[in-house]
Structure formats: structure tokens, C-alpha cells
Amino acid sequence: MAKEQAKYHYADVLNGLEVVDAQYERQTFSKHVHEGYTIGLIEQGAQRFYRSGANHVAAENSIILVNADDVHTGETATAGGWKYKALYPTVEHFNQISKDLVNNQSLTPYFKDSVIEDARIAAQLRCVFEQIENGASKLHIETLLFSTLAQLASGYGRHVEAVKAASVDVQKLKLAREFLDEYSQVNVSLEQLANVVGCSKFHFVRQFSQVFGITPHAYQIQARLIKAKKMLRAGASILDTAIGCGFHDQSHFNRHFKKALGTTPKQFQLTSVVA
């Protein structure tokens, strides 16, 4: 394993979210607390830590849960050290989620378990970290993140209740879809779309997916590709098309285009004829 290092940054989602990508071999963390929660995914090795009056070991692919203001420690549990990624959602983040899940109540979840084995949530966390690292759109990251935190809160949090039922006007959902069509290139946030409909972010994602059979982010990608085809047919360069349609870069654009259409933008442009 490489020398000890940690890279911290704030992701521009949900009004700011601290994220860390770290690996250690000899690092020992004495007792300390964080203002927010710690949700960590062990990628390699194993970590030993104290929390809630007992010692715990988190092995590879397991998830660490530390509540806000929980006193905890940290050190390696294997000779080669450990590698992990973690995010630090605040109490306010979870309060917002609980308001969406229950009847507008702020119910800060308490995670009794310090280590959980949940392959599905672990896979979602990997996807969240990957999309943050790749600079994906706010809509995509917030959708993934909101879903993951909601599942953690409802599945492992002591105070979060079952998801409440909600009905959303289909016409308002169509307005959100039209917004994505017209402004597909904009790095729109989940909150902005939910405001168009007039509901919570969590319920917006659920209702949009239920009514249209596709997530808001997937629909946004489709809308961007439709615009991209028009630009390519009109003779725009691949780079200008990628940027003009809201893709992070040309590689990001090429990947989505090939996945959706089975051909590259260049091949599409060479074989397309403007009517």
C-alpha cells in the first residue's frame, strides 16, 4: 500500500458535503468527535476503532457508521494498513431527509450499529464516491446520495419511520420534464427540480421515476443526447457539442453517446445527413 495520505474536499452538493479518500498504515487516531456523521467504506485492509463503549473491526467492503458527536478512535487492524473513503453528512442533511420520509418532522437518526455488512448500500456508496470524483452533475450525485442516505436512515437509523405516501400532480412532473428538455445543458440540482414540482427531493425522484419510468438524471442524459445529435448533424465539433450539451468533458460525452446509440459521436456525424 502506498504511503499514508488523505485527500479531503467539499463536494458542491446538498449545500456542501465533506468527503475523504484516505489510506493509512501507521496512523492512529486518538479519541475524537466529528460535528457530523461519518459514513465510511473500507476498500482495502481493515480498521479497528472504538465507538459507543466497545471496540469494533471493519473489514474490507464493510460500512462504518459513526453518529454526530460520537467519541471514536481509529487504527489499522491488519499489517498492511487500510484504505477507505468516507463522507460526513451533517445533522441538517439527515434532518432534511427525515422531513421527506415522515410527516415533516426532524428526526435525527441514531445508528446503533458501528459496522454493517450491506452489499447493496456499499455498491451505492462506491457509485457516489465515483461520481463525485468524476465531477458528475449535481442532479446525478444528489439523487444517488439522497437515496443512499435515506436507505441508511430508514434501514439502520433508530428514529426514522417508514416512507410516507405522497401524491404529486402529474402535470407538475411534466413541467419538470420540460425544464430538463429545455435546459438539458444546465447543471441543475435535485432541489431546483423538486421546487418546480413543489415537493421534497426524495418524493420527486420517486414520483418522476414512477410516472416516466426513468430517473431524472437518466432523463437529463437522454435530453442532452437528443440535443447533441442535432448539434452534430449541424456540423458542430465534438468538443463544442460535449460542452454545449452539459457533459463534463469529451470523454464523458463519448461514453454516454456510445452506450446509448451504439456508435461514437464521430461515426454518427460522418454518417448523418442534415435533412
pLDDT digits (tens, 9 = 90+) for 80-100: 999 999 999 988 888 877 777
**Whether the predicted pLDDT of 241 surpasses 90:** yes
Q: What is the pLDDT of residue 240?
A: 96
Q: For residues 150 and 178, state if they share a domain.
A: no
Q: For residues 67 and 124, state if they share a domain.
A: yes
Helix (H) or strand (E) holding 38: strand 38-45
Q: How many CA atoms lie less than 13 Å away from 211 in the CB half-sphere?
A: 19
Domain containing 18: what range?
Answer: 5-156
Q: What is the pLDDT of residue 168?
A: 63
Residue 265: helix, strand or coil by DSSP? helix
Q: For residues 126 and 261, state if they share a domain.
A: no
Average pLDDT, the chain: 87
Q: What is the pLDDT of residue 8?
A: 81
| Rounded Cα–Cα distance for residues 155 and 164 (Å) | 15
| Rounded Cα–Cα distance for residues 152 and 130 (Å) | 19
Q: How far, CA to CA in Å, does 126 sit from each of 20, 42, 63?
A: 13, 10, 11
Q: For residues 247 and 150, state if they share a domain.
A: no
Sequence-separated (6 or more) residues with CB below 8 Å from residue 244 = 185, 227, 231, 236
In a domain, 161, yes or no: no
Contact at 8 Å (CB) between 46 and 56? no
Q: For residues 132 and 13, state if they share a domain.
A: yes
Q: What is the CA radius of gyration of the chain?
A: 21
Of the listed ranges 93-107, 157-171, 211-225, the least confidently predicted one is: 157-171
What nine digits make up the cell of 179? 425544464
Contact at 8 Å (CB) between 132 and 20? no
Q: How far, CA to CA in Å, does 77 sit from each of 24, 29, 42, 52, 205?
A: 11, 13, 12, 18, 40
- Element counts in the chain: helices (H) and strands (E): 10, 10
**Whether the predicted pLDDT of 101 surpasses 80:** no
**Whether the predicted pLDDT of 182 surpasses 80:** yes
More confident residue, 80 or 260: 80
Of the listed ranges 2-6, 58-62, 143-147, 162-166, the least confidently predicted one is: 162-166
Last residue of some domain: 156, 181, 215?
Answer: 156
Contact at 8 Å (CB) between 235 and 207? no
| Rounded Cα–Cα distance for residues 5 and 92 (Å) | 29
What pLDDT band is residue 203 in, cutting at 50, 70 and 90?
confident
**Whether the predicted pLDDT of 166 surpasses 50:** yes
Q: How many CA atoms lie less than 13 Å away from 104 in the CB half-sphere?
A: 2
Q: How far, CA to CA in Å, does 123 sit from each of 11, 148, 207, 213?
A: 19, 10, 23, 22
Q: What is the pLDDT of residue 272?
A: 61
Last residue of some domain: 115, 136, 156?
Answer: 156
Q: For residues 36 and 109, state if they share a domain.
A: yes
What nine digits make up the cell of 149? 442516505
What pLDDT band is residue 162 in, cutting at 50, 70 and 90?
very low
Last residue of some domain: 156, 177, 192?
Answer: 156
Q: What is the mean pLDDT of residues 221-226?
A: 91
Q: For residues 230 and 103, state if they share a domain.
A: no
In a domain, 266, yes or no: yes
What pLDDT band is residue 273 in, cutting at 50, 70 and 90?
very low
Q: What length is written for the chain?
A: 275
Q: For residues 150 and 23, state if they share a domain.
A: yes
| Rounded Cα–Cα distance for residues 274 and 204 (Å) | 38
| Rounded Cα–Cα distance for residues 212 and 218 (Å) | 11
